[in-house]
Structure 1
């Protein structure tokens, strides 16, 4: 039996708590990575840990709320690139945006890779539209004969996540690292 009861709107104080938790999580994840203490996030937001868990029952639920807008933006970008850029340029631009987003918080790439295969994760469902849109960009480039036909979308996301992870680990210019590694990966994917 499914729950068909309407969702009640949040009270004003609950909305404020929700937003404070998101703001503090964004700050904590930027400072300490995705393993930042949830207790610390709740304390900084001025609420108890129970309030955090009422809004976000798991760490992935909190990450999903933070990343939802970014996932939607990547899906929209993919759709725009399908009509406004050559297949090769569209794939390159989309991969660069994906890598930049995946590098937002230290540890995020590991979390994203785990959710690609875990269909029960809140993040898996949240980034489904983004992944499907990215797959359409890849398929278009493959159909145009610009990318190897044997590359799967999961392999592409794994490669892009690997670049984002490597970017997290380096102390050199992040943009230079991403550019160099993306160029190397694309040289193995693109057909002349």
Structure 2
């Protein structure tokens, strides 16, 4: 649970924080580092004081927005596995991964500014995404829907390649085809 000064945030404060982070991802994805913080506050439906109370600097907001996107991506795994067969859960999650990669691509300049300021917004991202993939792939192997000789690190490398070459919004159709190709390759031989 999010905390402020060691205390859990009230429900309304937590909702405001989430709205600010969602608006920030959209703004930094569309406008990069030039996104106006006042526009983010307005889109989130909060005052600029609320934004600055939660995120004193632009870099704090960018880093928190990125970390929140990683958390949302990884936190989706249990729900996907509860509602879908493992192979379909993996397929649905890879689409979310491409959404994440598209947002991250749009935020690249903004994230670079955070790195230049001396913070590593990617510190836990790789590990968390790898753990999410591991969970999905173990479930798929256990269900007999995924080959057992493919490691999550292999799948992460394939997803990273797709994201690197096809994460621009106008390349979504290509990304979908590449995901289908990759996921089809995970099926066990008949």
TM-score w.r.t. the length of structure 1 is: 0.60
Which residue number corresponds to residue 15 of structure 1?
Answer: none
2:180 matched to 1:183? Answer: yes
Rate the CA distance shift 1:91–1:55 in 2: closer, same or farther, 3 A: same
User: For residues 133-175 of structure 1, what are the alpha-carbon distances to aligned partners after superposition, in whole Å with 9 as ceiling and x for unaligned?
Assistant: 2310111112222222222222212211222222235845x2x
What is the root-mean-square deviation of aligned Cα atoms in Å? 4.1
Aligned counterparts of 2:64 and 2:176: Cα–Cα separation in 1: 29
Map 1:36-185 to 2 at 5 A.
36=33, 55=56, 63-106=62-105, 121-126=120-125, 128-168=127-167, 171-172=170-171, 174=172, 176-185=173-182
What is the CA deviation profile of residues 52-78 of structure 1, one whole-angstrom value per residue up to 9, with x for unaligned ones?
xx9569x6x654311233222222210
Give the 3-state SS of the residue equivalent to 2:82 in structure 1.
helix
- TM-score if structure 2 supplies the norm length? 0.60
Q: Which residue of 2 aligns with 1:3?
A: none
Instruction: Name the structure 2 match of 1:115.
Output: none
The answer (yes or no) to whether the contact 1:29–1:106 under 8 Å persists in 2 is no
The verdict on how the C-alpha distance between 1:105 and 1:183 changes in structure 2, with shifts beyond 3 A counting, is same
Unaligned regions of 5+ residues in structure 2, if any?
8-16, 41-51, 112-118
